Structure 1
Amino acid sequence: MNHPPAGSLRMTDPVWLEGAGVVVTGAGSGIGRALARRLAAAGARVVVNDLDAAACEATGQDIGALALPGDAASADGVAALVSGALGHLGSIDAYFANAGIETGADASPAAWERSFAVNVMAHVHAADQLLPDWLERGAGRLVVTASAAGLLTMLGSAPYSVSKHAAVAYAEWLSVTYGDRGLTVQCLCPQGVQTPLLPGGSVGEVVFGDDVLAPEQVAEDVITALHGEEFYILPHPEVATFYATRATQPERWLRGMRRMQAELDSRSG
């Protein structure tokens, strides 16, 4: 089947994904794997990336995509990924910056550095590589997987919370700066999702309870959001309410979070 080039369609057209060239990082498991599979099913031409080469190759074989394993957090790694993807796709219409890490209670200098490298600088390096072409074309889409932790907080993991806040802030800055020049930026901020990053034990019970989504559900929500240009993609709609409370009633918000922290402390004490 011959598909129209993505550049000939508005990115709000429901069929723009057909034939579009897309890259998904962190595609070896979790949200990235589910998203890559769903994008391929929608007719996109997909390149997948993951630091875990075996997992990356498995996803590629599963969906008929080109696998380009490597480090999507380093400048050189992203340059190699974009170069390889362009060689295969011809053009990149959308880039899903999905790779992320969560270090839990480890707040060592190394944990902070790696968290910022993967959760923030990966997006910066991607934008550096992609923006010149997208701005020249007047079209391009960057979907940043942040987290509800980037809008709220994450108990027990300072590096994750702070780096995800930075990821949201950078995505917002890109949207403000280039949104009128053809760049669409969307920020995916789920709460609990059944992935390798989901905290277990008391943290998972206190923070998420039973409200944990399958990666496939999150992928469906992303596909729906790709038919529009809304900045936030919130698979857990209640996050919007929590975010509004945090902004308008900060003392109430902080008291509530302290109560949750106290419950967590009592379980671990």
Structure 2
Amino acid sequence: MPAETSALPFPGTDRVAVVTGASSGIGAATARRLAADGFSVVLGARRLDRLTALAEEIGGRAVELDVTDGDSVAALVAALDRVDVLVNNAGGAFDAAPVAEADLDSWTRAFEVNVLGTVRLTKALLPALRASGAGDVVFMGSTAGLTSYEGGASYTAAKHGVHTLAETLRLELVGEPVRVVEIAPGMVKTDEFALNRTGDAAKAAKVYEGVREPLVADDVADCVAWAVTRPHHVNIDLMVVRPRAQAAQYKVHRES
């Protein structure tokens, strides 16, 4: 609404947003949405070919980024003159095994990407976010970071880590001009999330089987954009967003 927009400290914004994991799914949708809302978007991901195509589409800037690699993160930081918003979206689930059959390599990957990679990039960009005078750190969490479920331990443990990271950082930055926002989606149907987790297209399809209108990436991007465009004294600590068909992590209505 016009009255709301005029109250923002950054109308028609020229703010710079860095979005990680931006080559597909929620990251790509978030980059598109923020660009449409007037942000200058820096897109980071490992798949530079996809990233470059998207950057050209939205008028953004593609930077090859592996959040698990310190040198890669340092190169990104060195290439930036300004950062107002960091969207820590890089992450994922890599197995669905019970704890008794845990693949420790999968656990390591889950923590390296979801937790340590997020810490690494947030730490590196905090000076710029503070210097902006109105910075935002967005953590892409999950309802898996709030509730555990069978077969999801490596992912739920990692996303619980992201949740407590957001809570702790918010406490540590109180009084500073940086907001800490956590978006925690439930079931989101994207091209890659379930496939990466199961390694099988048929198994991935069954995750969403019978679910009427699961969330899509654009729904989550809408939440991110709304949170970072509130007047800067308003902090959206935690936004939990699910499809109507999902009442809880373990309670999903499936139509026959």
TM exceeding 0.5: yes
Deviations 1:177-226 (A, max 9, x none): 10321110111110111221136255445xx9335112112211221222
Offset of residue 170 of structure 1: 0.3
> After alignment, is 109-118 or 191-200 more displaced?
191-200
Q: 1:189 aligns with which of 180, 184, 188?
A: 184
Change (3 A) 1:181 1:190: same
8 A Cα contact 1:193 1:214, kept in partner: yes
8 A Cα contact 1:94 1:142, kept in partner: yes
Offset of residue 76 of structure 1: 2.1
Name the counterpart of 1:159: 154
Q: Secondary structure at the match of 1:68?
A: strand
Matched, 1:29 2:24: yes
| Letter of the 2:182 counterpart | C
Q: Secondary structure at the match of 1:96?
A: strand
Offset of residue 119 of structure 1: 0.4
Instruction: Flag structure 1 segments of 5+ consecutive residues without an equivalent.
Output: 1-11, 244-256, 261-269
> After alignment, is 194-203 or 99-108 more displaced?
194-203
Q: 1:40 aligns with which of 31, 35, 38?
A: 35
1-structure distance, mates of 2:110, 2:22 = 18
Change (3 A) 1:15 1:28: same
8 A Cα contact 2:181 2:236, kept in partner: yes
Matched, 1:175 2:170: yes
Return the TM-score normalized by structure 1. 0.76
Q: In proportion to residue count, which structure has more helix?
A: 1
Name the counterpart of 2:84: 93
Name the counterpart of 1:266: none
Name the counterpart of 1:109: 104
What is the alpha-carbon root mean square deviation over aligned residues?
2.8
Matches within 5 A, 1:176-255: 176-195=171-190, 196-198=192-194, 200-205=204-209, 209-228=211-230, 229-236=235-242
Change (3 A) 1:63 1:156: same
8 A Cα contact 1:155 1:203, kept in partner: no
Matched, 1:143 2:138: yes
2-structure distance, mates of 1:139, 1:44 = 14
Return the TM-score normalized by structure 2. 0.80
1-structure distance, mates of 2:43, 2:114 = 18
1-structure distance, mates of 2:241, 2:9 = 20
Indicate the percent of aligned positions where both proteins have the same amino acid.
Answer: 33
Change (3 A) 1:132 1:105: same
8 A Cα contact 1:32 1:98, kept in partner: yes
| Letter of the 1:103 counterpart | F
Offset of residue 18 of structure 1: 1.3
| Letter of the 1:212 counterpart | P
| Letter of the 2:104 counterpart | P
Length, aligned pairs only: 230
Name the counterpart of 1:254: none
Change (3 A) 1:158 1:61: same
Q: In proportion to residue count, which structure has more strand?
A: 2
Deviations 1:139-158 (A, max 9, x none): 31110111111111354221
Name the counterpart of 2:14: 19
Q: 2:125 aligns with which of 110, 127, 130?
A: 130
Instruction: Flag structure 2 segments of 5+ consecutive residues without an equivalent.
Output: 1-6, 196-203
Offset of residue 48 of structure 1: 0.3
